[in-house]
Chain A
Amino acid sequence: EDQVTQSPEALRLQEGESSSLNCSYTVSGLRGLFWYRQDPGKGPEFLFTLYSAGEEKEKERLKATLTKKESFLHITAPKPEDSATYLCAVQANAGNNRKLIWGLGTSLAVNP
């Protein structure tokens, strides 16, 4: 069964303290892996799509990487405004499958 597991569940960092979030997945052929940011009570905000092992994408203080079994979201020198829940989702490459399978997210708090 297709599955996504994110760790840690929650992470508290000091401003400027770099760290990484993990997303491990089991899927019958990967069409794409997606990272989203979600603020409380709001819809997820798209960050990155990764398609193949070895691929990397960057946006400001965020960098996403992908291997055959997991993805990392690296946060460099985070600021308090980076506080949010970061969600990972995968789309399986199986026929007409369109749905995204989501992890439970990592809740990140960055203290000033």
Chain B
Amino acid sequence: DAGVTQSPTHLIKTRGQQVTLRCSPKSGHDTVSWYQQALGQGPQFIFQYYEEEERQRGNFPDRFSGHQFPNYSSELNVNALLLGDSALYLCASSRQGVNEQFFGPGTRLTVL
């Protein structure tokens, strides 16, 4: 049973560029949440997708957007990258009505 997968593993971009990160949820899961984790910090909630719609959003600007596909996989898009966007981006999947979230290995984004 494959767990949560994310791609790419690492990414280096320059300021002003745009990036797309991808996530495939654990088998049987239909809900995907995205988190940003800076070094030495806890994860910060970006948003959650269910039934291809954004259900809840954290305190992140509109530069952060997402999408969920019919197969439950998801993308996180970040436009106009800033140096402060450098972080580990985590995807977590869960089943509707079940509280536990299971995380992927993350994508390390470096903005130069």
- Taking the complex as formed, is B14 at the interface, i.e. its CB lies under 8 A from any CB of chain A? no
Choose among B43, B45, B48, B99 the residue that contacts A44 (Cβ–Cβ < 8 A). B43
Report whether A43 and B90 are in contact in the complex, using a CB–CB cutoff of 8 Å: yes
Report the interface size class on chain A: 20 to 34
- Taking the complex as formed, is B100 at the interface, i.e. its CB lies under 8 A from any CB of chain A? yes
Report whether A89 and B42 are in contact in the complex, using a CB–CB cutoff of 8 Å: yes
Report the interface size class on chain B: 20 to 34
What are the residues of chain B within 8 A of A25 when measuring CB–CB? none
Instruction: Name the residue of chain A whose CB is nearest to the CB of B102.
Output: A46
State how many angstroms separate the Cβ of B31 from the closest Cβ of chain A: 8
State how many angstroms separate the Cβ of B92 from the closest Cβ of chain A: 8
Complex formed: what's the CA distance from A41 to B89 in Å?
11
Report whether A44 and B90 are in contact in the complex, using a CB–CB cutoff of 8 Å: yes
- Taking the complex as formed, is B55 at the interface, i.e. its CB lies under 8 A from any CB of chain A? yes
The 0/1 profile, CB within 8 Å of B marked 1, for residues 93-112 of chain A is 00011111111110000000
Which residues does A use to contact B, with CB under 8 Å?
4, 31-32, 34, 36, 41-46, 49, 87, 89, 91, 96-105
Which residues does B use to contact A, with CB under 8 Å?
4, 6, 31, 33, 40-45, 48, 55-56, 58, 88, 90, 92, 99-106, 108
